Every structure is written in C-alpha cells, then in structure tokens.
Structure 1
Amino acid sequence: MEWTGERIIPKLLKPTNGMLLEHVARYFFALPYVQGRVLDIACGSGYGCHMVAKDRKRELVEMVGVDNDPEAIAYATREYHHQKVTYRQGDALDPQLPALLGTFDTILSFETLEHVADDRLFLDHLVQMLNPGGTLVISTPYGRGRGMPTSEPFHVHQLTEAEFQHLFASYPELSVEFYNQRGPTFEKERREGVRYFLGIAVCTKTS
C-alpha cells in the first residue's frame, strides 16, 4: 500500500504505537463536542470517522470524511464503512469546497494545518462551513514558524504556539479555548519544565 503524505492505518500498527495513540487520543478528546452534521477534513484511512460515528451515533446526523487522496478514500470506504458516514475526495484549499460540502455543526481537523500552503485560507474555509453554534476542533504540531523549514517531509511549515493562537484572532465570531497535547494527554494549563509538541483549539462559532 503506497500512499502519499502521512497516514495512520491502525490495522497495520501495534496498539502501543506512539503516533497511533496520539491520533486516537485526539478523536477521543473531540467526542463530547460531536453533534449534528459532522465534517472530518483530511480523514485519511477513515478510522476516526468510524470511531466517532460508533460512539456518537445518537448525536450524529451525518458524517462526511474528506481527503485529497483517492486511495485513502477507497480504503476508508472499504475498511471503515458506517451507515452514517460518507467519504469524499476533496482539496482543503479548493475555493469551491464550502459550496460542494455545505455547512456543518461540528468540524474536526487533525494534523492538517501544517500540510497546506495557505493555512489562513484553510481556516477561512472551515469557519465558513461551520454553522452558528457549531464547534471546530483543530490541531497542529508546533515548530519553527510559518515559512520556516521543517524536518517533516510532508509539512509545508509548522507554526509556533503563538502563531497558532494568533491565527484565530481574525475571527471575532469564534470563541476559542486552547489546549496542549503531549502524547495521549491534553492539558489546558502549562506545567513548568514540560515541553508540549502539539496544540489543539476548540472553537465555538457564536454568530
């Protein structure tokens, strides 16, 4: 199986794999916010969509998993089928994406921001597609900053923590809470001497 980019395929990994645990933890973190019509942008192999649909089946009306890789979409459709989940191919920066997908009550975007050339446009699309009262849960790894090189071959850049938080300042309609992820755990308050590698924002659209 040859896919471009970074993909988590649980069926090919040991349950103790650190990266798998981190990715699954983000979906567990987001579960309480999931309701109504839900979008998972850059859904990859589809395990997250399936996990969310099973856990939140009463609160979930429909879930749409979108990825730009047709092989990933084919795999997700085959391996992680659920009656409330639809998988679609799409580009996060496509200017027609909001019109194609419609609006959502919950949007999940995990480890995608660092892969797109224009993170501001990407966030514009997500905010546009989020219904008033809806929740966006979005994460990204911290790094050297916008426009700076990264050691990860599939990352365009990795924002600093300050840049990640400042990204939301342009959206007064969003009420945002920030968390830091270290391994499978999330902390709102920083602990002295602890290095946090990833940030996650929970954004509620107030209007």
Structure 2
Amino acid sequence: MNLADCYRVLGLRSGASFAEIKASYRRLARQYHPDVNAGDQRAKEKFIELTAAYQQLLTAVQPQNQGAETAERSPQAAQSAASRPVKTRVVRRPPKVEMNPRLSEIEQRLKEQSYDQLQELLKHHRYPRAIALVEGLAQRIAHDPEVRQWQAIAYQRWGRHLIQLNQLDKARVYLKKALRTDPHNRSLWAEVERDFRTLEERY
C-alpha cells in the first residue's frame, strides 16, 4: 500500500495527524478484532489490513509534539544553543531483529515495530491478536525467514494455550500449522513435541 491507501483504509484524509491516525486505528481495531469477530474471515482480513496500514503510517508520520521542547525555549536560549557546536554521540545497541538486505528501509522499520508489538501481545497472552499481526506482516514482507519464525512461534504459543483451555482439537490444528510454517526450526520442533505429549495425555 502507498500512504494514500493507508489513510483510506483507516478512514482518514491524506495528511491526518499522528493523533488522528492512532485514534482511528484503535476504534477500527476494536470493531474488527478477531476476538470480537470469532470465525469471521472478512473481519480478520480487515483487521490485518488495518494493522498493516497503521504500521506503515507510523513509519511516515511523526508525533506532533516531537520537537515541542525546542519550540518552547526562549529565543535567547535557542540562540545560545544554536551557537554551540553540535556533538553527536552514537549509541550502538544490538539489533532486535535481523537486517534483511532485500527489504526496503520502510519495510525494515515496519518489521522492527511489529516485533515490539508482537512481544507485548505474547507477553500478555493475546494470542489471536498476535497471530493476526504476524500474518499481516508475513503478507506485507514475504519470504523473510525471521518473520516466518515469529509466525510459527505465535501458532505454537496459541496451541499450547488452547491445550490449557482444553480445546484439544483446535490446539492440534495450530501446533501443526507451527510446524508447517517453520519446518526446519529444531527448537520449535522440541516445543511442539512437548505440547503434543501434553495434548495426548489430555485425551
């Protein structure tokens, strides 16, 4: 999607503010969330589209209060600051996600932001929303092995949770989807085998 499409998906005019984008996404995400529309494929696809559009706009639109601190300084303070030499300090942090040279800069940033959001959703056991997020990301960034790994992990975690809820047939479906999504991941296979043993004990 280009930016105009992203605004359209969120029901906004082009050039809408960061706050308007955020508010519109929250409203529409509540309306089309998979938890609210269980079994509704069209709602799921709409939620995925909304999330992809929102993530892309976040990379292009800055919060309006960015730089507000500078604007509130007195003219004297601003002039004094401008006359001082600028010292740039580079802080190197280990990357949270792998750099994929096949991705554009916008796609790489989308991937990084989605990773943060995915970790929060998994942390709070919001598995259907985590799956919707990562499936949308996999559609937007195809053939990225790390994204495929995240997708498989989301399926596996949801499958394990379904076992705890005693929804055993549904759990089996998602555990199998995890293996199909990332079949060469040995760590994932070990976790899924453990889940299958637990599942068999429940039958």
Structure with the higher helix share, 1 or 2? 2
Could you say which structure has the larger radius of gyration? 2
Same fold per superposition (TM over 0.5): no
**What TM-score, normalized by structure 1, do the two folds share?**
0.28
Structure with the higher strand share, 1 or 2? 1
Higher RCO structure (Cα 8 Å, ≥6 apart): 1
